[in-house]
Structure 1
Amino acid sequence: MKEFVVYTVLRIVLFLASFGIVVGLMALFSGGTYHLFWAVVLGFLISGIGSFFILDRQRRAFAERVETRAAKASAAFEERKAREDAD
């Protein structure tokens, strides 16, 4: 669960930073105005690409945790299934 929270918080922070930079640049180059829709779209795009490279370690830790839990659940399911078949 910790890996999920860390990764999610870092993704949100990365989006907010990207959004802030996009809004700042749009306001700077367009005389103080910006389009909120395009700022959000560009913020998501930039943060998505950035998270692929910047948050690789956190994403791998989260994926490893999920994979471990899935393997444990699968093993427990197979054990219950084997016990049921034995009865």
Structure 2
Amino acid sequence: MHFDRKTTAAAIRSGNSWKVIMQSRIIRVLPAEHGWALEFSGLDIKPQRFPTMEAAIAAGWDVARRQNAELHIHRHDGDVHLRGACCDKQQGP
């Protein structure tokens, strides 16, 4: 069975068989009450806070590169401003 670099897998038992559940590794840069936050899906990392969007994005890319994860940057209205995979050659909205 082949797994993508950006996903982790968990197996659960269902009767006499096993099912594989795929979970994406996503790092989200989100506006917070005071500054910006990084939240992590599919990674065992606690949320982090930063004073500026630029600092949050820089830290997010650093983690994304190390964890082979995607980075999603959200605007204040909740829309995704940029969605990129750390190892993709092409990035954009």
Normalized against structure 2, the TM-score is what? 0.27
Kindly indicate which of the two structures has a greater share of residues assigned to helix.
Answer: 1
Kindly indicate which of the two structures has a greater share of residues assigned to strand.
Answer: 2
Compare relative contact order (CA 8 Å, sep 6+) and give the higher one, 1 or 2. Answer: 1
Normalized against structure 1, the TM-score is what? 0.29
